[in-house]
Structure 1
């Protein structure tokens, strides 16, 4: 017994004849007759009395008719539920971001997506800004979290997330006397950074280009004489060992600052802000799954900013209320001097 046989049986009974059922179902009469005959053989006896005027139910057919209705209804319900289930099966959204962004967003973003959208799977890749840009342009990722210096207006649709503050990151260890006089300070002027060996990326990277821009703007040349692998964690190890300083947002180092392993001084005179963007590829339509992930990204950015893990000013309206926001002030405020 199968759904087709049940469907043909009910249609034939409701229409009163095999010919009428064939017209309703838009199939040949012999096909219906064959299926009805197979059903009757399986059940062990005739369900319909056939005549020139049409069909009528036998006593056994009357009993089976009510069961057939229930069986078809149950099968239809199961089919609809399974269809909805399979259409809501796990969708994969691939997000690329820089290590500094990944340090603050990856874990809470994964947790929030798992909680709010259990049918969505989030895949995160981290790399330098130029790599993240390339991944988006070639369709290897769906969303890029990157900086305005990497924006390509012809290929990218962007949404600003946060105008982050850049800080000078130094060792917090008293065993590094070169930086001891900085431990009691919260800010540093751009020109003062020229006193220290700077671990900085090349101009291929968005941060390297931003630093070069401020050197040109201020006329101050910084010391780029220390070897830097370009790997964030390796550079931070060098900083903690007193081998140089770095220019970074708090998102990259808040965990080390909380452990008193590094000291952060906000760069002033001039300040060094930069805009963090969520970018998607214009050549591909934004699907529902990616739109949901973008919404979660904004929520997590706002939460981490409210926790002072990411110092800067939100670049979008945030309507979600967090208990941490009340403790740390407005969601839109910056953590000056952190």
Structure 2
């Protein structure tokens, strides 16, 4: 098994065609076919089903493709780390960001890292906190923002900030940042909610239990943008982190207010693997990320957020 075979495996899987894969790899088609066949013979299992629609990975093929991607990524990272210019931090860093933080952090962070450390290649991934944690555990991420997580046997969780959740409604509802709205008032409306199992939904369900309210959930979705679109279309109110609706409030497309009775807070942490060497490139990206978050909170650009150092631990977090 060699790197050329792994590259052929991944490319055929991505394009579904040996002919197209050969073009992308700048090889003749028989060479790619031979690489795949040799790999299958070595493993003793078929990796693809040959169909009229193209090459489809078998179950064994899916496993090999996933592992091959990780192996090639690690080789690429190693090459970047061991061939730096004198005094220059180099390497590939894959960072996980929560969907609600993208507008605030993604572009400024890419610009800051690019300017201060041009030898660092930054790769951004987004997803639910649960997905990001799994990717971090699996080694697909080097570090990630997560929420409501304590350190685990495999991960270190560094608390960074906590933020309040907000009720979000159409403009006609007249919600205002300066006037918190009771959970009971929110529960009196049809609600567009995160899907069950989502960490944000877990916080909301717990608040409903504490307040003794029953929620009329009309729609569930796994997308913050879809939640907002459905509220705009009149399907109900929703509950989101303040950061996720800051731009909508500024633009006047939605109205929103912090939740109260009870308040609902989420804690955002920086998750990193507990074991293994931390490459310098990962260290500089973590430093820039924390710096941007601290600056955003201190400048008031993160609605109703508090840096971890500015408050005592909340028993309900």
With structure 1 as the length reference, what TM-score do the two structures score?
A: 0.63
Q: 2:306 aligns with which of 313, 318, 323?
A: 313
The Cα shift of 1:260 comes to: 0.9
Aligned to 1:224: 217
CA contact (8 A) 2:195 2:221 kept: no
Q: 2:262 aligns with which of 263, 270, 276?
A: 270
The Cα shift of 1:184 comes to: 8.8
In 2 relative to 1, CA 269–89 (structure 1 residues): closer, same or farther, beyond 3 Å? closer
CA contact (8 A) 1:130 1:204 kept: no
Which protein has the larger Cα radius of gyration, Structure 1 or Structure 2? 1
Give, in whole Å, the separation in 2 of the partners of 1:167 and 1:125: 25
The Cα shift of 1:202 comes to: 2.7
The Cα shift of 1:89 comes to: 6.4
1:213 has 2:206 as partner: yes
Give, in whole Å, the separation in 2 of the partners of 1:293 and 1:170: 36
1:119 has 2:119 as partner: yes
1:295 has 2:294 as partner: no
The Cα shift of 1:86 comes to: 7.0
- 1:25-40 map, 5 Å: none
Give, in whole Å, the separation in 1 of the partners of 2:187 and 2:273: 39
Local SS of the residue matching 1:162: strand
Post-superposition Cα deviations, 1:267-322, rounded to whole Å, max 9, x if no partner, equal: 112211111000011133322111111111111112222343312110148xxxxx
CA contact (8 A) 1:104 1:252 kept: no
Aligned to 1:246: 238
In the alignment of these two chains, the number of paired residues is 229
Q: Which runs of 5+ in 2 are unaligned?
A: 1-81, 312-317
Give, in whole Å, the separation in 1 of the partners of 2:100 and 2:207: 20
1:196 has 2:189 as partner: yes
CA contact (8 A) 1:113 1:120 kept: yes
Post-superposition Cα deviations, 1:140-192, rounded to whole Å, max 9, x if no partner, equal: 001110101x44511110111111111111122x4xxxx24x35962101121
Local SS of the residue matching 2:93: strand
Q: Which runs of 5+ in 1 are unaligned?
A: 1-81, 318-331, 333-338
- 1:5-44 map, 5 Å: none
Aligned to 1:133: 133
1:158 has 2:157 as partner: yes
Give, in whole Å, the separation in 2 of the partners of 1:91 and 1:184: 43
CA contact (8 A) 2:154 2:273 kept: yes
Give, in whole Å, the separation in 1 of the partners of 2:151 and 2:157: 9
CA contact (8 A) 1:160 1:315 kept: yes
CA RMSD of aligned residues (A): 2.3
The Cα shift of 1:198 comes to: 1.6
In 2 relative to 1, CA 83–141 (structure 1 residues): closer, same or farther, beyond 3 Å? closer
Give, in whole Å, the separation in 2 of the partners of 1:99 and 1:200: 16
CA contact (8 A) 1:170 1:244 kept: yes
